[in-house]
């Protein structure tokens, strides 16, 4: 610290007052603790006497707890073909519903191979059927659109 004096707070949180920086360092050293600058942008800067290692440990514990609490929304992709059979369609539809109930977003993709691109209407029928079947449980976040050889749409759980 390059300032001549600091506002000092001791380890219990009570304010000692404005003291010279050298004296604040001596007080912290005599107590076996560290002098930590808490607020640098005020004049004089605010410093606190504390165990810096313990402080860093507690901060990392708080950060881990906060990270554990937040829910990360995952994106799941379910792939169809233009000529997906009925049982396979129902099976994949059931999986989409399960993913949505878990809180995931689902990307439904219809993959065209080779000459199937000449018959895009088959894939569009599958996508339209999917939109109708998921209408009561999901909102269409991104409407169906072609991306190269794939027809994709994004779904998320319907908000109540």
Residues 60 and 89 in one domain: no
Residues 79 and 115 in one domain: yes
Residues 32 and 94 in one domain: no
Q: For all residues of the chain together, what is the average pLDDT?
A: 92
What pLDDT, on the 0 to 100 scale, is given for residue 42?
92
**What is the distance between the terminal CA atoms of the chain, rounded to a whole angstrom?**
55
pLDDT at residue 124 greater than cutoff 90: yes
Total domains in the fold of the chain: 2
| Final residue in a domain of this structure, among 43, 66, 89 | 66
User: In which band, very low, low, confident or very high, does the pLDDT at 72 lie, cut at 50, 70 and 90?
Assistant: confident
Tell me the mean pLDDT in the region 44-54: 93
Q: Is the peptide bond before 44 cis (omega within 30 degrees of 0)?
A: yes
Tell me the mean pLDDT in the region 78-96: 95
Q: Which CATH number is 117's domain given?
A: 3.30.110.10
Beta bridge partners of 17: 8
Q: Quote the domain boundaries for residue 24.
A: 5-66
Residues 6+ apart with CB under 8 A from 130: 80, 93, 96, 108, 153
Span 18-35, pLDDT tens digits: 999 999 999 999 999 999
Q: What pTM was estimated for this model as a whole?
A: 0.58
Half-sphere exposure at residue 54, Cβ-oriented, CA atoms within 13 angstroms:
7
User: In which band, very low, low, confident or very high, does the pLDDT at 89 lie, cut at 50, 70 and 90?
Assistant: very high
Residues 61 and 83 in one domain: no
Residues 57 and 85 in one domain: no
Which residue blocks in 3-146 are alpha helix, DSSP H?
21-30, 52-69, 86-101, 120-133
What pLDDT, on the 0 to 100 scale, is given for residue 40?
87
pLDDT at residue 61 greater than cutoff 80: yes
What pLDDT, on the 0 to 100 scale, is given for residue 20?
94
Tell me the mean pLDDT in the region 145-156: 94
User: In which band, very low, low, confident or very high, does the pLDDT at 1 lie, cut at 50, 70 and 90?
Assistant: confident
Residues 129 and 152 in one domain: yes
Residue 49: CB atoms within 10 Å: 21
Q: Which CATH number is 54's domain given?
A: 3.10.20.80
Question: Apex CA 122: angle with CA 121 and CA 126, to 5°?
Answer: 110
């Amino acid at each position: 610290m390059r300032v001549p004096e600091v506002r000092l707070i001791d380890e219990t949180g009570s304010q000692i007052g404005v003291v010279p920086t050298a004296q604040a360092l001596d007080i912290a050293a005599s107590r076996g603790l560290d002098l930590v600058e808490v607020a640098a942008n005020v004049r004089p800067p605010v410093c606190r006497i504390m165990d810096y290692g313990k402080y860093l440990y507690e901060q990392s514990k708080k950060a881990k707890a906060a990270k554990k609490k937040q829910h990360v929304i995952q994106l799941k992709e379910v792939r169809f073909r233009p000529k997906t059979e009925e049982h396979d369609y129902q099976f994949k539809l059931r999986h989409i519903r399960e993913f949505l109930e878990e809180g995931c977003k689902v990307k439904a993709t219809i993959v065209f191979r080779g000459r199937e691109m000449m018959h895009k209407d088959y894939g569009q029928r599958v996508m339209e059927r999917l939109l109708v079947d998921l209408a009561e449980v999901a909102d269409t976040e991104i409407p169906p659109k072609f991306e190269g050889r794939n027809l994709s749409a994004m779904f998320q759980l319907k908000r109540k």
